[in-house]
Amino acid sequence: MEQIEQEQDYNIGPKDKLPENAFQTRGCCKAPKDLKRGEQVFDHGCCKLDAYDWLKDITIATGQRRFDAVEVRFKNNRKDFYRLPPDLDLHIGDIIAVEASPGHDIGVITLTGEVVKYQMVKRKVDPFSTELKKVYRKARLTDIEKWINAVSKEEKAIYHTRRTAADLNLKMKVNDVEFQGDDTKAIFYYTAEDRVDFRELIKSLAEQFRVRIEMRQIGVRQEASRLGGIGSCGRELCCSTWLTSFESVTTNAARVQQLSLNPQKLAGQCGKLKCCLNYEYETYVDALQHFPESSIMLKTKKGDAVHQKSDIFKKAMWYSYTNDQQNLLMMDASKVAEIIEMNKRGEIPDNLEDLAIKLEAKVEEQQASADDLRRIGS
């Protein structure tokens, strides 16, 4: 009977209308109901969960068994590892039924073979653990039908849950819903600032959908990664495309990079400090180690000068006199270090304008050299 089922086409339609992109969040290029014989739904694309099998061209030595675990993808950023039974041969892109609590779940295989072992070590999972959940079977037509029917309920469940939570005056925001593949359990992801008593909400949802309800709280960064969007840079959000782990971002990262401490500019769509503030932070820290201390005042006969800003790429520092802070003088960092050493020896230069003029001439000379190179290249 199983062999007959596998030879049929997956032309199955759920009771509810299936959204066009319902399975894109599960790594599928299209819905399984549109599959013909020999086709697959899994698609390698621009996704932060996509991993390249760099060991696929290496053959297994004679007498060595293939690693008996696979990586399976579910909705959004949920992935897990499962143990294969000895008599089941599966490949990337196969839809399988795996162990869940309770019942079983449906997922798509994303990695097989030895590379799975390295992925497990990377995610701090013991490759030889006996507690690893099992793969039951390759998904049958009945499994696919239940899966499609469960996925078709998710969009309706989100709006219903939000309306019910508003009626109960619950201060929470429902972000996403994931139904288990066998349509016996649903996970509701939400964000909230304070503790929420959602016992009445769970009772209402259980009566509505006739499934086991699980409420799972996530942070605002995880919410942004699930919803996606366009950042102020004009590109898709890093957390929804390639960023897989979140690191704490502090205002010190903005101070080191000499950015304006404006919350509207430094905050992302999640309301927290932008993750990209950490990208160049270490570069600035390393470069500023070669700069003189900016808190030291430069003493001249014309007056004391205080530091205003620095440019690590030009290796320049801007200073202004305490009695004339509108006029900024750009100086080379090495010259600033020389003046500081002179002040320590008790020597005081006449002014900073002479040094600043020399630096401006140097910048003009560099610009002229760049123009010459462009003319030669053209």
Burial (CB < 10 A; 0-12, 13-18, 19+), residue 101, is exposed
**Domain shared by 102 and 214, yes or no:** no
Residues 107 and 158 reside in one and the same domain: no
Q: 257 pLDDT exceeds 80?
A: yes
Q: 376: helix, coil or strand?
A: helix
Residues 204, 110 share a domain: no
The residue with greater pLDDT, 132 or 242, is 132
Angstrom distance (rounded) from CA 180 to CA 107: 10
CA distance 99 to 70: 13
**Final residue in a domain of this structure, among 149, 165, 198:** 149
**What is the predicted pLDDT for the residue at 12?**
41
Give yes or no for a cis peptide into 85 (omega within 30° of 0): no
Q: How many domains does the chain have?
A: 4
- Same domain flag for 68 and 140: yes
Whether the per-residue pLDDT at 237 is higher than 70: the answer is yes
Are residue 348 and residue 254 in the same domain, yes or no?
no
Query: Is the domain of 56 the same as that of 175?
Result: no
pLDDT digits (tens, 9 = 90+) for 5-17: 443 344 444 445 6
Based on the domain organization, do 214 and 232 belong to the same domain?
Answer: no
Q: How many CB atoms lie within 10 A of CB 47?
A: 17
Query: What CATH number did the domain enclosing 205 receive?
Result: 3.30.300
- The single residue listed with the structure tokens 């760099």 is 54
Quick: pLDDT tens for 271-319. 899 999 999 999 999 988 889 988 899 998 888 999 988 888 888 888 9
Q: Which domain holds residue 330?
A: 294-377
Distance of CA 128 to the CA centre of its chain: 29
Give the mean pLDDT of the chain: 84
Quick one: 52 and 125 in the same domain?
A: yes
Residues 212 and 307 in one domain: no
For residues 252 and 167, membership in a common domain is answered with no
Predicted pLDDT of residue 254? 92
209 lies in the same domain as 344:
no
Tell how strand 316-321 and strand 298-299 pair up: unpaired
Q: Taken in order 325, 329, 334, 338, is the CA torsion positive or negative?
A: negative
pLDDT of residue 274: 93
Same domain, 200 and 263: no
pTM, rounded to two decimals: 0.73
Among the three residues 107, 127, 149, which one is the final residue of a domain in this structure? 149
pLDDT tens-digit series, residues 159-179: 999 999 999 999 999 999 999
User: Final residue of a domain: which of 196, 218, 240?
Assistant: 218
**Residues present in the chain in total:** 378
